[in-house]
Amino acid sequence: MTTDATIAPAAPSAKGNSSASRDIASYLHPYTNFAAHEKTGPHIISKGHGIYVTDDNGRDFIEGMAGLWCASLGFGERRLVEAATKQLETLPYYHTFASRSTNPAIDLAEKLLELVPVPMSKVFFANSGSEATDSAVKMVWYYHNAIGQPEKKKIISRKKGYHGVTVAAASMTGLPGNHKMFDLPIDRIIHTETPHYWREAQPDEEEEDFATRLAEQLEDLIQAEGPETVGAFIAEPIMGAGGVIVPPRTYFEKVQEVLDRYNILFIADEVICGFGRTGRMFATETFRLKPDMITVAKQLSSAYQPISALFINDKIYQAAKKASDEIGTFGHGFTYSGHPVAAAVALETLRIYEEDGIVEHVRNVMSPFQKRLKDLNKFEHIGETRGRGLIGAFELVADKCLKTPMQPVGAAGKAVVAKCMDYGVILRALGDSVAFCPPLIITEEQVHDMFDKVEAALADWHESLG
């Protein structure tokens, strides 16, 4: 472990090379301010190794976000490269429409059903988390039509929740930036309150009392909408893009009671949390959830291939089976559902998790990770640190005691992330919360190195405030 005095920022990367100019001229970037991008250009990453990535100027960075919450096994895992190569040589593509199948898709579905901690009947494959949650919406509607409850279609999500960017998934996402200009959310998608105890609790309100109030607010919303019209509730076990918000104690138990009371399906969105991130294979187990459907993606293949999955329980499957027989088909699916190369890579990823004891490794390193995260509270403008397992965030504030937001909102988060980049760590600003989600293979020594650099960056940033 190094000291702050030994850490200095690296020289900034040069901009404006030919690749950058071509990028500006031709590529429309997701989640990007286009006008700002034309001025600054892209930061081009050229290769990766372990928990590190290297840009086109030869600078190494600790990838403290595992890309986008997803490169769980880091960069350059040979077994995944070989699994993809072998499958490409054997059967590079085939579809799974109309009862056709491939062995990688069958093997992966079977393995996932073995791993999931609650009873599930079938696995449906898609290509992204957005497609998995979008498929869950369609399944809610299909199911309730199939059982003769065609009015029971509304889906309750949460403010600051993140469930993707397709039309239905972005509607469930509870972030204004995903709705403005897109004419979202669509009809039948509604939002309840954010379970952020530090930010949203009333003065002197205990954590469990806050959870009770949120469950009561959810029930009030259901009653106002009409219980006969509400089909499902969707939630991330830990909210990711909304700020890495960990649920208050007893929250999900109390929410589950409300859902059971009104016969409302529960969809657990494990796109970020699934496959070891919280110290269990699924966060459904960490928080003792009882979902009817689960969505997964990202760490399913360590992001080496685009693949996602939707689990459905048997009551949903039986209703869908009956309806598909009456109609003659289940009219949903993607050209690349169960793509054999993606499935082969995902299956090898699961083997690595088991054979290399990745979940056990997470349990060993998550304590020093969470301790170093909590230690950041010593900085004047960090109001809260929060996390679980190998995911966490700190929130920047103007006043610690009053929890006053920084102004303008979001500027401080971007400035701190830029300063961390100067010191060789890639993090992500979520407004004025700064998120960590490193590859699961990170060692304790690397955890300390990452936080040493972040602390040096924060000290530098605080000094710049004067």
Instruction: Judge if 13 and 37 occupy the same domain.
Output: yes
pLDDT 10s digits, 228-252: 999 999 999 999 999 999 999 999 9
Instruction: Judge if 365 and 434 occupy the same domain.
Output: yes
Is-cis flag, bond preceding 185, omega within 30?
Answer: yes
Of 326, 355, 384, the domain-final residue: 355
Of 336, 355, 374, the domain-final residue: 355
pLDDT at 11 over 90: no
With tokens 């109030």, the residue in question is: 213
- Contact in structure between 9 and 423 (CB atoms under 8 Å): yes
Parallel/antiparallel/unpaired status of strands 293-296 and 308-312: antiparallel
Instruction: Judge if 348 and 423 occupy the same domain.
Output: no
Q: DSSP string spanning 218-241?
A: HHHHHHHH-GGGEEEEEE-SSB-T
Instruction: Judge if 50 and 149 occupy the same domain.
Output: no
Q: According to DSSP H, which parts of 48-196 are helical?
A: 66-69, 78-90, 103-115, 129-146, 167-172
Of 322, 355, 388, the domain-final residue: 355
| Angle (nearest 5°) at CA 70 between 24 and 397 | 80
Element at 403 (helix H, strand E): none
Question: What was the pLDDT predicted at 335?
Answer: 98
Instruction: Judge if 347 and 362 occupy the same domain.
Output: no
Domain count, the chain: 2
Question: What was the pLDDT predicted at 181?
Answer: 97
Of 260, 269, 20, give the one whose Cα is nearest residue 131: 269
- On average, the pLDDT of the chain sits at 96
Residue type, 99: S
Parallel/antiparallel/unpaired status of strands 308-312 and 382-388: unpaired
- Contact in structure between 320 and 330 (CB atoms under 8 Å): yes
Instruction: Judge if 171 and 310 occupy the same domain.
Output: yes
pLDDT at 71 over 90: yes
Q: Which domain holds residue 423?
A: 4-76+358-464
Rounded Cα distance between 259 and 97, Å, is 34
Instruction: Indicate the angle between helix axes 78-90 and 340-355, nearest 10 degrees.
Output: 150
Instruction: Judge if 310 and 398 occupy the same domain.
Output: no
Instruction: Judge if 362 and 351 occupy the same domain.
Output: no
Query: What is the CATH number for 61?
Result: 3.90.1150.10
Question: What was the pLDDT predicted at 16?
Answer: 46
Instruction: Judge if 456 and 369 occupy the same domain.
Output: yes
Parallel/antiparallel/unpaired status of strands 60-63 and 425-426: parallel
Instruction: Judge if 67 and 143 occupy the same domain.
Output: no
Residue 76 φ/ψ, nearest 5 degrees? 90, 25
Instruction: Judge if 219 and 311 occupy the same domain.
Output: yes
Query: What is the CATH number for 205?
Result: 3.40.640.10
pLDDT at 18 over 90: no
Instruction: Judge if 299 and 197 occupy the same domain.
Output: yes
